[in-house]
Amino acid sequence: MEELAKKIEEEILNHVREPEIPNREVNLLDFGARGDERTDCSESFKRAIEELSKQGGGRLIVPEGVFLTGPIHLKSNIELHVKGTIKFIPDPERYLPVVLTRFEGIELYNYSPLVYALDCKNVAITGSGVLDGSADNEHWWSWKGKKDFGWKEGLPNQQEDVKKLKEMAERGTPVEERVFGKGHYLRPSFVQFYRCRNVLVEDVKIINSPMWCVHPVLSENVIIRNIEISSTGPNNDGIDPESCKYMLIEKCRFDTGDDSVVIKSGRDADGRRIGVPSEYILVRDNLVISQASHGGLVIGSEMSGGVRNVVARNNVYMNVERALRLKTNSRRGGYMENIFFIDNVAVNVSEEVIRINLRYDNEEGEYLPVVRSVFVKNLKATGGKYALRIEGLENDYVKDILISDTIMEGAKISVLLEFGQLGMENVIMNGSRFEKLYIEGKALLK
């Protein structure tokens, strides 16, 4: 197990590399911007990026101050270096015209992400400053349709649009005909790199996101390092790699309203149509401190293109619902395999320390997912209703789950296994030691 995990890590680290940005700088102030939290600097950002791009690329300096803007569309060989605060205007019409994007694993044309790059190479967001999406119960979040986030009877919400989008994907409606945006209520991601190569996000702080915070799609060679994400609205996942290859997520801090790092590859028919997995992803040395985070490392549920060769090492998860979660169902298809969860710590878990679920959302279909080869080693965890909960299907077992050299204390129930294969070696659960145990089928260990 350890040897294969190290081999995967080496493969990742040998491939990921920082973008090559030309040694050229411009200052946003030189394009008429004012950091007074009143002046609309949208045109200044646009002109600065266009000018840099004409020169072959370089670094755009956003100095101290608070700069209001609409969407920022990056181009190849551009680094957005943030020293102050970029505060995005929370008016949905500012994020038109629509762009190619994804919503919960389905391709469509929708409101632009707040920071967006399409088909770019060598692109970066860096600096000690802040990206503020300005989302709150009055802006964006109420579209979720939940009263906790500002929705009231008579206000619009996303429900009909989500249903329509799913139906279009199942029917095979061409993507260019899946046009939403104005008059619809599907929230955009905050930062999205779509079909990009050589991407870096480093040091910045991201707050108040409309939906998913950092969402690279169909991208390769991505580094996300030492950023802080503080956003506790609905569906406020921290980092969502979707159909990405060769990715490093390290030294980040999360306080999110949903999962912290959650790996995806498309939903149902659309994910199978595109058929691009997320693979070779290393998640290490991160810290999650949250009262709202659903999961530390999560895979799914939009995983129809497959997820494999993922290593999570030396992360700390505090107050999360679950430390490790794999979620899918028989509408998805796809696979999750070669998942390594090594040298991690989880404190005060509220639901399950480890949860693998092939019945997510109680949805059923004809596309059985493959979930196998999940390895957990040297995990130290406290709390939880369950230490380990695995729920496969009678005709679709969860296979080859191995837990070793692990201590889990304080859970009300140690193991619930339904339709799976579980091995434990040198594991302590609530004071009981399992030197070597193999279970197949069903089991309940209290």
- Which residues are known to be catalytic? 258, 294
Q: Extract the tokens encoding 41.
A: 């600097």
DSSP assignments along 150-215, one per residue:
T--TTS--SHHHHHHHHHHHHHT--GGG-B-STT---PPPSEEEES-EEEEEES-EEE--SS-SB-
**Beta strands in 232-334, from DSSP E residues, in sequence order:** 245-250, 253-256, 261-263, 278-284, 287-289, 295-300, 307-313, 316-318, 322-327
Structure tokens at 13: 């680290």
Contact 282, 247 (CB under 8 A): yes
Dist. CA 361–CA 318, nearest whole Å: 25
Best CA proximity match to 343, nearest among 388, 376, 317: 376
d(CA 260, CA 325): 11
Q: For 226-291, where are the E strands, in sequence order?
A: 228-231, 245-250, 253-256, 261-263, 278-284, 287-289
236 vs 167: CA distance, rounded Å: 24
Query: Please, are residues 292 and 257 in contact by the beta-carbon 8 Å criterion?
Result: yes
The strand pair at 413-429 and 432-445 is best described as antiparallel
